Amino acid sequence: MSLSSALSIADLRRLAQRRLPRMVFDYLDGGAEDEVSLRANRAAFEALRLQPRLLRDASVRDPRVNLFGREWAMPVAVAPVGLAGVFWPQGDLHTARAAGRAGVPFILSTASSVSLEDVARGAPDTELWFQLYVISRRIADALVERALAAGYRTLVLTIDVPVSGYRERDLRNGFAQPFRVTPRTVLDVARHPGWLWRMARHGSPQLANLATVDAADAESQAALLKRQMDASFDWHALARLRERWPHRLLVKGVLHPDDARDAFALGVDGLVLSNHGGRQLDGALGALDLLPRVAALAGGRPVLVDGGVRRGVDVLRALALGASGVLLGRAVQYGLAAGGEAGAGRALALLREELDRAMALCALRQISEIGPDLLAP
C-alpha cells in the first residue's frame, strides 16, 4: 500500500505500523494502563447515530468555519503531539506545513522536536498555536516570552499532565529518549531500516524548545521526557498566566463542567475537552460524554474536543453535540509516520473529503446547519 492508495486514516495507521519500529508505533498508538479511556473515545463516536433530513439541495457545500476570528478550511485543527521527530525527522515542521496547506491551525507541543522559532520560520503560512506544559514556572515564563516574540498569538495550556500517565506499552518496549540500546530495541530498529536511515540522516534534536546548554534546562529536559510537570500549578497560577499572556488563551484537558465554568470565568477564551487521547487518567470519561454539559454553559464561547476523531463523519457528530471544532491527534501523526508532509497532508485531505461526503449525505450545505437534530435520540 502506498500513500495515495490509502483510503482512510485506518490505512495510514497500517502504513505507520509497518514503517515504524514497534516501540515508536506503540508510543503513538497506545494509551495509559488498560487503555479503557483510549477505547472509550472511539466507542463514544461510534455509538452516536445520525438521522439526516434529506431532500434538501446540498449540491454546493462549504465546510469552512470562522473560529477565534479566523477562517478555517474546516472545523479541525492539528493537536499538539510531543516527540513527533521520532515519527519523521523534523516531524513538527512537516505537519505544520501540511496543516497550512489544508487551511487549518497547527498546535505546536512544548515537547516538539523542532523549536518554536524554527517552526514559525519554516511554516510562515500556517496559523500556529503554541501548547504550553508547565515543567517549572521559570521555564514556562521563558517559553511564553519566546512564543510571543516568535509571533504565536494563541496559547494552549495543557492541564491534564500533573504527572505522566502510566503507559505500559512504552515501559515494556523500553521506549525512552535517547533510545536505550538493548538487544530488544536494537532488533526492533534493525527491522525498520527505512526509518533508521531517515533518522540517521536527518536526526533532529528531541525537545528542541529546551535544547540549551544551561544545566537547569538539562534538568527540565529530563523532567519533560519523564513528563514530570509542576503538579502545583493551580487556579492562581492560571490567573497569573491569563494576566501575562495578552492574546488568546485556551485550556486543554478539561474533564469537568465545573472546571470549564471556572476557566471561562477567569477569562480563558476557549476550551479543549480532552482525555489526552486516553494517555493520562485511564478510566477518565471522553470529551464527547462531557460535551453537551459544557456546550450548555459555554454561552457561545468556543469549545473544541479531541480523542478518537478518525473520520469526517466524526466531525459532524462532535459538532452536532455542541463542539465548535475538533483536534486531530493520531490521525495526522499516522499520516506523518507513513510519509512526512505528504502523509500528514493525505490524512487531512481524507478527513476533508469524508467531511464533505458526510455533509452531502446529510444534505448539509454549511457547517452552521449542523445541530442536535442530526443525532438520533
- Which positions from 112 to 151 touch ligand FNR by CB under 6 A, shown as an x/- string? -------------------x--------------------
CA quadruple 309, 313, 318, 320: dihedral, nearest 10: 180
By CB under 6 A, how many residues form the interface with ligand FNR? 25
If the CB atoms of residues 61 and 252 are measured against ligand FNR, the closer one turns out to be 252
If the CB atoms of residues 287 and 295 are measured against ligand FNR, the closer one turns out to be 287
Query: For helices 330-361 and 9-19, what crossing angle results, to 10°?
Result: 160
| Strand, helix or coil for residue 87 | coil
* Rounded Cα–Cα distance for residues 125 and 332 (Å): 19
- Tell whether residue 276 is a contact of ligand FNR (CB under 6 A): yes
**Least distance to ligand FNR from the beta carbon of 227, Å?**
9
The grid coordinates of residue 15 equal 502504513
**Interface of this chain with ligand FNR, residues 198 to 237, rule: CB under 6 A:** none
- Tell whether residue 330 is a contact of ligand FNR (CB under 6 A): yes
* Rounded Cα–Cα distance for residues 245 and 82 (Å): 23
Q: What is the number of the residue whose Cβ is closest to ligand FNR?
A: 329
If the CB atoms of residues 188 and 314 are measured against ligand FNR, the closer one turns out to be 314
Only segment of 56-64, 74-82, 97-105, 114-122 that touches ligand FNR (CB under 6 A) = 74-82
256 annotated active-site: no
- Tell whether residue 345 is a contact of ligand FNR (CB under 6 A): no
**Least distance to ligand FNR from the beta carbon of 133, Å?**
6
Residue 279 annotated as binding? yes
- Which positions from 30 to 49 touch ligand FNR by CB under 6 A, shown as an x/- string? -----------x--------
Residue 133 annotated as binding? yes
If the CB atoms of residues 206 and 274 are measured against ligand FNR, the closer one turns out to be 274
Q: Which amino acid appears at position 102 of this protein?
A: A
Member of 252, 311, 317, 352 binding ligand FNR (CB under 6 A): 252
If the CB atoms of residues 329 and 345 are measured against ligand FNR, the closer one turns out to be 329
Residue 236 annotated as binding? no
Q: What angle do CA 246, 252, 258 make, to 5 degrees?
A: 100
Please state the separation of Cα 370 from the chain's center in Å.
23
- Tell whether residue 274 is a contact of ligand FNR (CB under 6 A): yes
The grid coordinates of residue 288 equal 464527547
- Tell whether residue 95 is a contact of ligand FNR (CB under 6 A): no
The grid coordinates of residue 229 equal 510537570
**Least distance to ligand FNR from the beta carbon of 114, Å?**
13
For the residues of 180-191, what is the DSSP string, one character each?
P--HHHHHHHHT
Q: Is the peptide bond before 193 cis (omega within 30 degrees of 0)?
A: no
Strands (E), 48-148: 65-67, 70-72, 76-78, 106-108, 128-132
Q: Are 228 and 135 in contact (CB under 8 A)?
A: yes
Query: For helices 257-265 and 287-297, what crossing angle results, to 10°?
Result: 40
Residue 183 annotated as binding? no
Phi, psi angle pair for 5, to nearest 5°: -90, 0
- Tell whether residue 28 is a contact of ligand FNR (CB under 6 A): yes
The grid coordinates of residue 36 equal 479503557
Q: Which residues here bind ligand FNR, judged by CB under 6 A? A: 27-28, 41, 79-82, 109, 111, 131, 158, 252, 274, 276-277, 279, 306-309, 327-331
Residues annotated as catalytic are 276
Residues annotated within a binding site for FMN: 80-82, 109, 131, 158, 252, 274, 306-310, 329-330
